[in-house]
Amino acid sequence: MAKARLDRRIKACRKCTSPDRLNVPGETASAPGYGSIDSPVAIVGEALCRRCMAKQEPFYGGSGRVLDRCFERAGHAKTELFITNSIHCHPPNDRDPLVHETENCAGFLREELRDIVQPRLVIAVGKFAKSAVLRLYPEPDGREISWPFRVPRSKQSDLSGLTHLLFPPHPYYIMTRATHIRDEYERRVARAIQWAFDVEGVR
């Protein structure tokens, strides 16, 4: 299976050695993409936090709880989506990904999204995830949807082979905002997820 082979390559990767050595078990370990490879929705974060590294699951706890509420509102379990990161390892002290780390991991992200999952909608959160996704889906392959999300006015014929891209704020930022801001964020992200599943169902 292509995903299983890719997962093994991610776990075996040792490209990033400076200034920090990444993919060291228990310290800066990697985790492959999580969830359904048949999902019409992919969530892309920036990098694994320490808790996510230990669990081997992107967006586990912490800011991931914001996304969990989005999934619940959308009526879909987390396992029904595909969730990954612009880099698959845990940078020390949860620091931002470095340019060469993102570049080293770009091939893995490309295989996950473009070759295996092929989602209808990619939701990338955070500037590093956004940058990585935009490089994967240059126009006309990708069409950016403005945030806050509104249902795209795409003709059904325009949807074939087209991936929609959505770039909401990172849930870590949202979790510190006022209740009404969090509620609006969760409602908009949930609607985007629902839209992608609905479109996939009528293709």
- pLDDT digit string (tens) for 97-115? 999 999 999 999 999 999 9
pLDDT bin (cut points 50, 70, 90) of residue 119 is: very high
Q: CA separation (Å) from 154 to 74, 158, 203? A: 21, 6, 13
pLDDT value of position 200: 76
For the chain, the average pLDDT equals 95
Inform me whether the pLDDT recorded for 201 exceeds 90.
no
Closest by alpha carbon to 11, among 131, 108, 133? 108
Q: Give counts: helices (H), strands (E), the chain.
A: 7, 6
Closest by alpha carbon to 152, among 95, 99, 191? 191
What gap in Å lies between CA 27 and CA 7, rounded to an integer? 18
Residue 113, token pair as written in the block: 């999204």
What gap in Å lies between CA 10 and CA 91, rounded to an integer? 15
Inform me whether the pLDDT recorded for 194 exceeds 70.
yes
Q: Are 91 and 28 in contact (CB under 8 A)?
A: yes
Inform me whether the pLDDT recorded for 202 exceeds 60.
no
Question: Any idea what DSSP says for residue 33?
Answer: -
Question: Any idea what DSSP says for residue 51?
Answer: H
Q: Are 41 and 81 in contact (CB under 8 A)?
A: yes
Q: CA separation (Å) from 45 to 69, 89, 115? A: 16, 12, 19
What gap in Å lies between CA 168 and CA 118, rounded to an integer? 20
What gap in Å lies between CA 67 and CA 58, rounded to an integer? 11
Which residues, listed in sequence order, are joined to residue 124 by a DSSP beta bridge?
44
Q: Which CATH superfamily is domain 2-202 in?
A: Uracil-DNA glycosylase-like domain (3.40.470.10)
Structure confidence by residue, pLDDT tens digits, 34-71: 999 999 999 999 999 999 999 999 999 999 999 999 99
Q: CA separation (Å) from 73 to 15, 38, 45, 69, 107? A: 39, 20, 20, 6, 33
What predicted TM-score, i.e. pTM, was given to this entire model?
0.95
Question: Any idea what DSSP says for residue 140?
Answer: T
